[in-house]
């Protein structure tokens, strides 16, 4: 990435990438929810209790700390083995979001990201814009009609046709608005070869992961809606 999309800042023991429009006002304390006080409100749906809605009037952001899941998360929480800056997960997600926005895909705009080394390990956080008037699919799935389900399928296919791999496509990482559908949380995501067959590749696995998350949340209540999703997904966006 070039200087037209990011500014690299080293300050107060952290390494940060900031979009140029915010570089002049950047403060390392932005990544500390305690700095915001009452202006930081925990995000309730999905996640691991590591994200906050932050108000920096007139801006509204989401601050997310990277946390491990599973057994590793119980032991070392927010630390990752440092293998060089090129492998820092938060930097990779920040840069991927910029690429996806250049491609015209519906993702939130990144603001800033940081990592801080502690000997062999590092911890990370990211700030992105907060999307208004949206709710996670996992919260509204039963209220959506067949047209919205087809649109969700079309949006997922749009990402896949562009070669976008989402490592954790679950029903809480799809945000549905009255006229919009966005994907969030691209940790460990990447751009891959878009022409690989979706039924026998990572694309089919990604769709299957979404289906399992819906089944976990709703059991078999969404079988009919899922067929509408597939109707939308099975129409290629490549023309």
Residues noted as catalytic: 168
**Cα separation of 31 and 11, whole Å?**
13
210, 212, 218, 224: CA torsion to nearest 10 = 70
What are the C-alpha distances in Å from 197 to residues 54, 200, 213, 236? Answer: 40, 6, 23, 12
What are the C-alpha distances in Å from 233 to residues 149, 152, 205? Answer: 10, 8, 14
**Cα separation of 189 and 99, whole Å?**
12
Peptide linkage before 58 cis (omega within 30 of 0): yes
What are the C-alpha distances in Å from 67 to residues 51, 170, 219? Answer: 10, 17, 27
**Nearest CA among 218, 229, 238, 136 for reference residue 182:** 136
**Cα separation of 140 and 74, whole Å?**
30
Roughly how many angstroms between the first and final C-alpha of the chain, as a whole number? 29
């Amino acid at each position: 990435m070039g200087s037209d999309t990011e500014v690299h800042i080293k300050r107060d023991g952290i390494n940060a990438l900031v979009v140029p429009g915010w570089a002049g006002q950047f403060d390392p304390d932005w990544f500390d929810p305690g700095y915001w006080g009452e202006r930081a409100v925990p995000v309730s749906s999905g996640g691991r209790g590591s994200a906050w809605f932050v108000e920096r009037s007139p801006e509204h952001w989401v601050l997310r700390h990277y946390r491990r899941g599973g057994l590793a998360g119980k032991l070392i929480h927010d630390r990752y083995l440092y293998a060089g800056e090129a492998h820092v997960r938060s930097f990779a997600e920040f840069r991927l979001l910029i690429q996806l926005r250049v491609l015209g895909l519906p993702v939130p705009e990144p603001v800033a990201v940081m990592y801080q080394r502690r000997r062999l390990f590092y911890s990370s956080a990211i700030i992105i814009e907060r999307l208004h008037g949206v709710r996670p699919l996992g919260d509204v799935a039963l209220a959506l009609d067949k047209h919205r389900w087809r649109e969700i399928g079309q949006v997922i296919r749009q990402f896949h046709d562009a070669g976008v791999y989402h490592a954790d496509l679950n029903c809480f990482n799809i945000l549905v608005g009255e006229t919009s559908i966005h994907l969030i949380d691209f940790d460990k995501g990447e751009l891959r070869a878009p022409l690989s067959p979706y039924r026998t590749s990572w694309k089919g696995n990604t769709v299957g992961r979404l289906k399992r998350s819906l089944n976990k949340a709703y059991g078999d209540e969404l079988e009919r809606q899922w067929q509408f999703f597939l109707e939308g997904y099975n129409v290629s966006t490549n023309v």
